[in-house]
Structure 1
Amino acid sequence: MRGQAFDRPRFGRFRGRPVKLRDAIDQVVGRYPSRFAITVFLGLIVLFTVLFTLPISSRTREFTPLHDALFTAVSTICVTGLTTVDMSTHWSAFGNGLVFIGVNIGGVGVLTLASVLGLAISRRLGLRAKLIAASDTNPSRIHTGPVSERQAIKLGDVGGLLAAVAISAIVIEGITMLAILPSMLAAGYDFWHALWYSAYYAAMAFTNTGFSPNPEGLAPFETDYWMLTWLMIAVFLGGLGFPVIFALARGWRNPRRWGVHVKLTLTTTAVLLVFGMIMFLLLEYSNPKTYGSMGFGETTYQALFMSMMTRSGGFSTVNMHDLYGSSMLVSSMLMFIGGGSASTAGGIKVTTFAVLVLAAFAEARGAPAIEAFGRRIPADILRLAVAVVLWGATIVAGASIWILQLTKMPFEQVLFDVISAFATCGLSTGLTASLPPEGVYVMAVTMFLGRVGTVTFAAALASSQRRQLYKKPEERPIVG
């Protein structure tokens, strides 16, 4: 309108009247999407930390120490599942409600959450906001926009993706809750406790968190294969990633139309699941503290359950401390890989691992390019995958050294819990609960970097790419 209009900010400068809040948010989202995503998660962690410290959140109506409240907030928002307090006895109904809400908020993904918040504030989903949401499936879109390969989520489908995130979470958690409710009633809980525990377990399974609301944990359900199977189904679906769920919902009858991302995620997930089951079956079959007293069929099922949960589920029917060292190493490997991109799982992601394996095979065959399912994977995706793995390995190494120095605990236990924190898995040898406050803070930072850092780091790398119109002289160093 004439006489009242103001110039929109250019290059961050304001002229005339100050812009509205939503315009300022749009500018921040457009220019610094990764920073906006990190700010969103940090804000949620600060908010939940304050709420967890309040007496109303604890069952004893006492203030919770800051390090325990912060750790619980980070573990909740980052859907990790590690804890320094007894989740079933320390928190009040209000505190448990915070945990339930927090894991569902954190489970939707870093950049997807930032996009939803930007949409709620600005009341529109512009191109840049779509790029932010789509970068959860392909971080290179932060820089390049629409890409040529058949991606799981196209920019025109981002609005549908954001709706699918909420719908899939509600539907899958609701079905899982109703499915395991009979198991809770059969275990002797009254109806209202059984209903609450069922909803809690369903949310923890789909978000790949792994908290248990009852003091006994999964101990009463070790042989309840009905409940354990439904927990595995929810963990599996949550670990696939919202883009894969969205793509399967649209075209499950026509696998030929699935994109490379969907096929790589499904194939690699299945291979790793079977690999983990076989390894746990072979390595733990004679362990009297885990599967040694079980028959072959029961051991096979429990090995499958363990393989699924080490991918990021966080539930366990055995004590991780009782595993053989070889099994702990296999568990650490599976946790480090994690689940699918834009999923509730953590780790470096299965597609990152798949790209590296394909690159190794391509190099061994002398192939000029990386190929999968009749498509060529560009070299910049390989560079991105290498950078993500190095970022993850650096975080794990740094945190492990720090924890080892603080606690002087055995290396295999420290490495296991640190990888579990980085991969937001939630399995523990018992080390995390015994850490001093300094170690708790280190693990909290590890969880945050594992959940937020991998995606935003990849996005930042992709957005920092620049065109170069010349090439420098080539020279080959000796490698290997």
Structure 2
Amino acid sequence: MAESSRREVGRVAVRAARVWHSLFTTHPARTVVWAFALVIAAGTALLMLPASSQDGSATDLVTALFTSTSAVCVTGLVVVDTATHWSGFGEAVILGLIQVGGFGIMALASLLALLVSGRLRLRMQLTAAAETKSLGIGDVRRVLLGVAGCTLAVELAVGAVLALRLRFGYGRSIAEAAYSGFFHAVSAFNNAGFGLHADSLTPYAQDPWITLPIAAAVILGGLGFPVLLELLRHRTRRRTTGRRNWSLHTRLTLVTSAALLSVGTVLTCLLEWTNPGTLAPFDWDEKVLNGFFYSAMSRTAGFNAVDMGALNATTLLFTCTLMFIGGGSAGTAGGIKVTTFAVLAAAMLAEVRGEPNSTVMGRRLAPHVLRQALTVALLAVGFVIASTLALLTVTRAPFEDVLFEAVSAFATVGLSTGITADIPDSGRLILILLMFVGRLGPITLVSALALRERTRRYQLPEERPVIG
């Protein structure tokens, strides 16, 4: 009897091991998803501790889970004020979650293994490549070290500028200025949008020494690590060869990002110029400054220097468009990514012109790239519509505010018209799912599609259904 029991236990253990292997190790992108989920769970447990709140009481599960998810997914939506609810320990936990989530959990684990042992196993290289969008496992080591260097350099530089400004411009103590400057620098470069003021950056709306460094950090983080590394690499190469030879991905990201940033600035100024609740009280140069700052934040981060609740409905609508597009691939930005948008635009332009192939910047786009872009975009639209419908059933907030909240959560932007704290727990769980899917969905989906690509040995008969 004891022998049969031991055999049964052994069979259960074997089945459990197989399930664990299937869930966690069979696919690199799946490993990334589970890693993010485990870190969110750990962050939730830490934020629920009495030591994490200022009043010494335990934070409820949904609030802690929402904050942890928002930090790890570098979103910035909050249901409690960061500065008044969380203690110094709680803020440190949030800052750590932002840094881990922005850098990439598997990328961070791979970097630590590389620094400790000097080498990476094949599976760890695959997971790091899936998360950082490396060109191949051969350059994972270089990419990881480059990402770490870029992150550290930008955060220290921006943190120093902010700390000096807070110290000498606002009379903060050295410790307070350094802490606030570094916190906002980390939050900005990782496109998280967490701040230490209840009204975000509205006290500094007229101060370019605060808003411009933060905007620069947000834009750099939103370009994506592959673009930043290529710019640095080709800057060094140009010194020796005198030539600039950027890849199509880098050129698409830079051109599309600059175009969206410019369009967002112009539209913000045009639509809010005379709005007494936003830009009207400022001088013309301050209006342009805040128009630029809002445009930069709309695509990637959740800081705001004007009252979001006072924005016109037209501004909210085009902001939803900017948030949905997002920033660069394999970076800290969310959305469907600017390259996805550019590829779809190129495909539409080719169809309008009647051209058989989609071309952009002198290059022909592969058919599977078009299919991947279309899949990512349509699934994103489906998630946003479904979540908006679900949120409308649990809250009485106006439709435009609910749609704005859903897009902001999915695109991991973090901007809000102020309804986040009033949404019930059921609605907060919907937003939690949206943030998680928005942060990891494109990574998982594109990696899965790329690994499942196969060649069919036959062709089915062609037929053309009526379109339009």
Question: After TM superposition, is the score higher than 0.5?
Answer: yes
Contact 1:136 1:342 in 2 (8 A): yes
| CA deviations over 1:345-378 (Å, ceiling 9, x no partner) | 1110000001001111111112221222222110
Distance 1:112 1:363, change over 3 A: farther
1:337 maps onto 2:332 in alignment: no
Secondary structure at 2:68 match in 1 = helix
Secondary structure at 1:89 match in 2 = helix
1:70 maps onto 2:55 in alignment: no
| CA deviations over 1:73-120 (Å, ceiling 9, x no partner) | 000100000000010011111101101111000002366457557868
| CA deviations over 1:198-235 (Å, ceiling 9, x no partner) | 00010011000111124453233111111111001100
Contact 1:183 1:224 in 2 (8 A): no
Structure 1: distance between partners of 2:92 and 2:112 = 22
TM-score (norm: length of structure 1): 0.88
Structure 2: distance between partners of 1:120 and 1:439 = 42
Q: CA deviation at 1:181?
A: 1.1
Partner of 1:233: 216
Distance 1:427 1:251, change over 3 A: same
Matching residue within 401, 405, 430 for 1:417 = 405
Structure 1: distance between partners of 2:109 and 2:382 = 26
**What amino acid is the match of 1:69?**
A
Partner of 1:35: 30
Distance 1:63 1:302, change over 3 A: same
Structure 2: distance between partners of 1:343 and 1:87 = 24
Distance 1:29 1:65, change over 3 A: closer
- Taking the TM superposition and a 5 Å limit, the aligned residue runs for 1:159-174 are 159-174=141-156
Distance 1:406 1:255, change over 3 A: farther
1:455 maps onto 2:438 in alignment: no
TM-score (norm: length of structure 2): 0.90
| CA deviations over 1:28-82 (Å, ceiling 9, x no partner) | 7763112111110000011000110010111111000111000000001000000
Of all paired residues, the percent bearing the same amino acid is: 41
Partner of 1:371: 359
Matching residue within 173, 193, 203 for 1:190 = 173
- Taking the TM superposition and a 5 Å limit, the aligned residue runs for 1:304-383 are 304-383=292-371
Structure 2: distance between partners of 1:447 and 1:264 = 26
**What amino acid is the match of 1:258?**
W
**What amino acid is the match of 1:387?**
T
Distance 1:363 1:167, change over 3 A: same
Structure 2: distance between partners of 1:379 and 1:137 = 23
Contact 2:25 2:31 in 1 (8 A): no
- Taking the TM superposition and a 5 Å limit, the aligned residue runs for 1:67-466 are 67-109=62-104, 112-113=107-108, 116=111, 124-126=119-121, 129-136=124-131, 153-185=135-167, 186-215=169-198, 217-252=200-235, 253=238, 256-466=244-454
1:46 maps onto 2:41 in alignment: yes
- Higher mean alpha-carbon deviation, 260-269 vs 244-253, is at 244-253
Structure 2: distance between partners of 1:154 and 1:36 = 18
Contact 1:111 1:135 in 2 (8 A): no
Contact 1:240 1:341 in 2 (8 A): yes
Structure 1: distance between partners of 2:430 and 2:455 = 38
Contact 1:25 1:118 in 2 (8 A): no
| Aligned-residue RMSD, C-alpha | 2.6
Structure 1: distance between partners of 2:243 and 2:273 = 37
Q: CA deviation at 1:137?
A: 6.1
- Higher mean alpha-carbon deviation, 39-48 vs 368-377, is at 368-377
Contact 1:26 1:122 in 2 (8 A): no
Contact 1:391 1:454 in 2 (8 A): no
Q: Say how many residue pairs are matched.
A: 450
Contact 2:49 2:58 in 1 (8 A): yes
Q: CA deviation at 1:182?
A: 2.0
Distance 1:136 1:296, change over 3 A: same
Distance 1:454 1:111, change over 3 A: farther
Pick 1 or 2: higher relative contact order, CA cutoff 8 A, min separation 6.
1
Partner of 2:5: none
Distance 1:125 1:365, change over 3 A: farther
Distance 1:369 1:134, change over 3 A: farther
Contact 1:352 1:385 in 2 (8 A): yes
Q: CA deviation at 1:26?
A: 9.6
| CA deviations over 1:437-478 (Å, ceiling 9, x no partner) | 111111111100100112102212222222210111110111
Contact 1:29 1:118 in 2 (8 A): no
Structure 1: distance between partners of 2:350 and 2:42 = 48
Structure 2: distance between partners of 1:154 and 1:454 = 18
Q: CA deviation at 1:333?
A: 0.5
Unaligned runs of 5+ in 2: 1-9
Q: CA deviation at 1:330?
A: 0.8
**What amino acid is the match of 2:246?**
W
Distance 1:172 1:197, change over 3 A: same
Partner of 2:3: none
Distance 1:220 1:243, change over 3 A: same
